[in-house]
Amino acid sequence: MVLHALSLIQKQVNSFNIVAEESTMTSQAVDDITPHHAACCSVIPTYILSKIADSPDAPDAAREHARNALVHTRTIIQRHQESILRQINATPAQGASHQGIIPDHISNSIANSYPAGSEGEDAAQRTLSLSAEIRDNREAHADSLRDAQAKPPTTKRLKRVVYDAKHTEILDEKLVRSEGGPATSDPAADECYDGLGATFNFYSDILSRNSINGAGMSLIGTVHFDKNYNNAYWDGKQMVFGDGDGTYFNRFTASLDVIGHELAHGVTQFTANLIYEGETGALNESMSDVFGCMIKQYKLNQTSAEADWLIGVGLFTPAVNGKSLRSMKAPGTAYDDPVIGKDLQVANYADVLTSELPSDFDNGGVHIYSGVPNRAFYLVATELGGHSWDRAGKIWWAALTDRRLTPSSKFQAFAKLTVEKAETLYDQSVKAVVEHAWKEVGVDTG
């Protein structure tokens, strides 16, 4: 199993490197764009985008959109490597440099399936360029984010604002809905509004947290970002949603757990501030999957047994042979498609220990290695039974907000904290369940 997983990952790395070399041709264009928003934590990992860009079977337009997104993200990854040492000692705002929910290798595969110079190739290059620009400007908002974090708690009050970018890169192009306003005729705007509310309610009702920063931060979303943009991201201040290309991706507001996932990056940013690189970045990604999944389950009032444990159901169009972007129950089984590629997530820590992904491939495996703690949470929640947020979620939350969890903490440090919290919050039997779950995924808590 380990060798098979590593073989699949290595093939994707090789493919990604080829497209990455090509993407540098357009990176200067990204540099010439005046930045207007901060760097992002996006939904689609780069390796998925790369896979689409590479695929000769993908339609021209889809490959273009993927390559566009990939070039953007690739540029940001290069800049991220230059600043990674600074991030180790960074402030909470500075440590949250991320990429989208769609992996680059998928965008890359789509982009490469289009003829050179075609409209599809141009669109894909644009998507990649935008992703890079978004992430590169993350530090520009560091001071304001620190200010937001430093504010004392206030009365909990939901404050939502939704903008329509009108297929441009201007995030506040048009205000379409604010708190208490009537529904619009735009499904994306209303899905965004409802998703922001569901996320706020989860943190308020279950974890007694006042918005994502604990101090009543307004929840802002922008829909219809750019043209056929294959991603959604958190830029440090707000959520931004693309409409998808319609070929492989649907609109990104349609999935509540995606909204919850991205906003959870904001929560991590204001708590443990886990650096978005390698194993630590995978723990960051897992936190977003865990809380995104619980937000969906809470909204649907599902028990752990009733839940599907899938992330991003509905993101893929029927053209893709896949049920979702990730599976917390069975990492590595979410999709297997000629264009998108095979789900690269691993489920056991042995796959992490025996592989060393380059930092420019999925930021060192943040969306790949996250399958390990994802499955651990699934095992705990289903073994304890009932609702995932009742006990498993509170254990994970206590560990995430423990000051001993540092920006550079890895799986084992977090796992040990969950074992400790299980005993402190509950009893020895719950502690045993948590210990067993981590053992099942190969993480030592001794």
Q: What are 203-222's pLDDT values in tens digits?
A: 999 999 999 999 999 999 99
Residue 30 pLDDT: 35
Q: What is the pLDDT of residues 286-336, one digit of tens each?
A: 999 999 999 999 999 999 999 999 999 999 999 999 999 999 999 999 999
- Give the tens place of pLDDT for each residue, 158-206: 999 999 999 998 988 899 999 999 999 999 999 999 999 999 999 999 9
Q: Is 262 a catalytic residue?
A: yes
Residue 28: what pLDDT? 39
Q: CA-based diameter of the chain, in Å?
A: 63
Q: Do residues 188 and 305 share a domain?
A: no
Percent of the chain with pLDDT over 90: 61
Catalytic annotation, pick one of 72, 80, 261, 367: 367
Q: What is the DSSP letter of 374?
A: H
Q: Are residues 321 and 405 in the same domain?
A: yes
Distance, in Å, from the CA atom of 269 to the CA atom of 205, rounded to the nearest integer, reads 21
User: In this structure, are 124 and 8 located in the same domain?
Assistant: yes
- Across the chain, mean pLDDT equals 83
Q: Do 164 and 50 reside in the same domain of the chain?
A: no
Residues 265 and 284 in one domain: no
Residue 151 domain flag: no
Residue 445 falls inside a structural domain: no
**Residue 150 maps to a domain:** no
Query: Does some domain include residue 114?
Result: yes
**Bigger pLDDT: 278 vs 85:** 278
Q: Give the pLDDT score at 410.
A: 98
Return left, alpha or beta for 186; rule: phi > 0 is left, psi -120 to 50 is alpha, else beta: beta
Same domain, 364 and 327: yes
The verdict on residue 228 lying in a domain is yes
Cβ-in-10-Å burial (0-12, 13-18, 19+) of 318 comes to exposed
- 246 found inside a domain: yes
User: Is 446 inside a domain boundary?
Assistant: no
**Average confidence (pLDDT) over 337-348:** 95
pTM for the complete prediction? 0.84
Tell which wins on pLDDT, 129 or 328: 328
Total number of domains constituting the chain: 3
CB 111 within 8 A of CB 68: yes
Q: Which residue, 214, 236, 269, sits at the end of a domain?
A: 269
If asked whether residues 420 and 335 sit together in one domain, one would say yes
Angle at 386 between CA 382 and CA 273, to 5 degrees: 65
Q: How many CB atoms lie within 10 A of CB 317?
A: 15
Is residue 78 in some structural domain?
yes
Pair 380, 406: CB distance under 8 Å: no
Domain that holds residue 251: 157-269
Residues 291 and 427 in one domain: yes
**Same domain flag for 406 and 306:** yes
Catalytic, out of 262, 277, 279, 285: 262
